[in-house]
Amino acid sequence: MRIGIIGGGAAGLATAWLLEQDHDVTLFEKDDRLGGHAHTVDIDVGGRPLSVDAGFQFFARSAAYTTFNRLLDALDVPRTTYPATLTVSRADGTRPVVMPPFRRGRPVWSSLTPRAIMHLLRFRAFLSGIPAFLAQHDTMLTIAEYVERKHLPRSFVDDFLFPLLLAFWCVDLADFRRFAAYNALYYLGANLPRGLRPPDQSEIPGGLRVYIDALVRSLARVDLRTGAAVESVARDADGSLLVGAAGVRHPFDHLVLACDARQAHDLLVPLPELADMTQQLSRFGFFDTTIAIHGDRRLMPRDEAAWSVVNVRADDAHSSLSIWSPARGIPVLKSWVTYDAELPQPLYATATYRHGLIDTAYFDAQRRLRPLQARHGVSLAGLYTADADSHESAILSAVAVAERLVPDSPRLALLRG
């Protein structure tokens, strides 16, 4: 078949990789860069060149990322691991709670206060219930309802737990309270600490660009078209799907929309036979997140001994992350700055990404889209179509497309294990 793919992020590229050996594949990407949220930027810090992942970053060699790791194995992409330490502090860097409360074998004294120790003990008890809850796959319970059912002290919830959970999304607290608990707790459940040892995370030397470049190099037969924004999707008299890009209509037998739900909705609305699909696509909400790569210590805990890989800074309204790599030995930081009044300095790069608002309607729409896939020659790919909001879901969405279109593909067999 002639298959068109709209979107050159991880879902689109993985779909192309799975389909190209059996079909004629053309991929359209509106930007000049491929990879979507897998986005490595190059910066210079005092004459030292560095590559920093501005978008998606965290994954591990765990069950939560099985399919993604199989793809990396198939592409011979190397990975290293590091301990993902964590600190929660106020926006001014005070009152840190450090997990674990030791660095290089020494206690972090600023975190060994009665308040911090009590938060750590309650958090450990809270973590113990997450695996069983995730196993139920209940996507209709909100995070506010889940926490309420635990009957936790209000001081722990307001001062520590919600700031920690909220920081990974950087949205208004009212919106976050409507998030599905399954998604809000997914990363904690996938990365539980072992005793006093922090969980291990993986990274790709050179950044996620290395993985994207390896994936692109492996596409021997795909017609890759970057800088090619898709303007329209229509149906020809013979039933072919026509993709309009740069004033030219390209005919296809099957179309895979590997863009976000809003873009897919707008492209498919003119096709009345896809009304059920566009109705569900309209239910997905979105928010934008701005990321800064910088060297401003004010966005970190005031006590440098309390610095972790993942650092939460919270005030009464919002909560944000600052990510630091101890291996670099210099304060190059990646911070969520959506609600900051001014950008940090020195500033090396910024990027803005659109994310799905992962409330219970998100998962209900996801469930209702499954039986509509591949009808009338149209499939959807992207992390919003497959389980929790993670890079693993983007790859799983490509696998789901391939299971329908190339069920006997050797590459599909690799990813399915």
**Tens digit of each residue's pLDDT (9 = 90 or more) over 380-409:** 999 999 999 999 999 999 999 999 999 999
- Is the pLDDT assigned to residue 293 strictly greater than 90? yes
CB under 8 Å to 131, separation ≥6 — which residues? 189, 192
Q: Report the alpha-carbon distance of residue 7 to residue 170 in Å, rounded.
A: 25
Confidence of residue 49 (pLDDT cuts 50, 70, 90): very high
* Spatial CA neighbour of 2 closest among 18, 29, 20: 20
- Is the pLDDT assigned to residue 196 strictly greater than 90? no
Helices assigned H by DSSP within 137-197:
143-149, 154-156, 162-167, 173-177, 181-184, 186-190
Q: What is the amino acid identity at position 218?
A: S
What average pLDDT score do residues 277-298 get?
97
Instruction: Using the structure block, give the residue that is written with the tokens 């060149």.
Output: 49
Domains of the chain: 2-37+209-282+360-416 (3.50.50.60), 78-203+296-345 (no CATH)
- Is the pLDDT assigned to residue 294 strictly greater than 80? yes
Is residue 14 within 8 Å of residue 401, measured between CB atoms?
no
pLDDT for 277: 98
Q: Report the alpha-carbon distance of residue 161 to residue 169 in Å, rounded.
A: 14
pLDDT for 191: 84
Phi/psi region, residue 236 (left: phi>0; alpha: psi -120 to 50; beta: rest), is beta
- Is the pLDDT assigned to residue 69 strictly greater than 80? yes
pLDDT for 53: 97
| 356: its two tokens | 């799905």
- Is the pLDDT assigned to residue 190 strictly greater than 90? no
Strand order across the 254-257 sheet: 223-226, 24-29, 2-6, 254-257, 378-380
* DSSP reduced 3-state for 143: helix
- Is the pLDDT assigned to residue 147 strictly greater than 80? yes
* DSSP reduced 3-state for 344: coil
- Is the pLDDT assigned to residue 124 strictly greater than 90? yes
pLDDT for 329: 85
pLDDT for 402: 98
Partners of 41 in beta bridges: 52
What average pLDDT score do residues 49-68 get?
95
* DSSP reduced 3-state for 219: coil
What average pLDDT score do residues 1-7 get?
98
pLDDT for 193: 80
What average pLDDT score do residues 296-305 get?
97
Q: Report the alpha-carbon distance of residue 86 to residue 127 in Å, rounded.
A: 14
* Spatial CA neighbour of 339 closest among 317, 322, 368, 360: 317
For the chain, what is the mean pLDDT? 96
* DSSP reduced 3-state for 133: helix
pLDDT for 192: 83
Q: Report the alpha-carbon distance of residue 164 to residue 312 in Å, rounded.
A: 6
pLDDT for 317: 87
pLDDT for 194: 74
What is the helix, strand, coil percentage profile of the chain, to 5?
40, 30, 35
Q: Report the alpha-carbon distance of residue 179 to residue 185 in Å, rounded.
A: 10
pLDDT for 34: 98
In this prediction the pTM is 0.96
* DSSP reduced 3-state for 80: strand
